[in-house]
């Protein structure tokens, strides 16, 4: 019997935040800020794609494991 998989709300929020940072990166807004915040802003925005990819990979692997377990296969 398939159990409903619980969503990790924190991961959803992290993905949403990283999507917003990717949009900021593509619109070039991080380069128009206060010079003191320039490095911090650009560092945070630059980490958006790796964070998004890691979370997506984790979700995909977790989904694969749950589906294999529900199908009766080994993990």
47: domain range?
A: 9-70
- C-alpha 75/C-alpha 66 separation (Å) is 9
Concatenated DSSP letters of the chain? -PPPPPP-HHHHHHHHHHHHHHHHHHHTGGGGS-HHHHHHHHHHHHTHHHHHHHHHHHHHHHHHHHHHHHTT---
What's the pLDDT band for 73 if we cut at 50, 70, 90?
Answer: low
71 pLDDT above the threshold of 70? yes
64 pLDDT above the threshold of 60? yes
pLDDT digits over 6-58, tens only? 778 898 899 999 988 888 777 766 666 566 567 767 777 778 889 999 999 99
**What was the pLDDT predicted at 35?**
64
- C-alpha 3/C-alpha 40 separation (Å) is 42
**What was the pLDDT predicted at 26?**
77
Task: Flag whether 18 is in a domain.
Answer: yes
State the total domains in the chain. 1
């Amino acid at each position: 019997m398939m159990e409903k998989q619980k969503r990790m709300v924190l991961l959803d929020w992290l993905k949403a935040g990283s999507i917003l940072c990717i949009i900021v990166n593509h619109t070039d807004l991080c380069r128009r800020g206060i010079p003191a915040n320039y490095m911090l802003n650009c560092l945070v925005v630059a980490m958006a794609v790796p964070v998004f990819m890691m979370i997506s990979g984790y979700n995909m692997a977790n989904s694969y494991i749950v589906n294999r377990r529900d199908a009766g296969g080994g993990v």
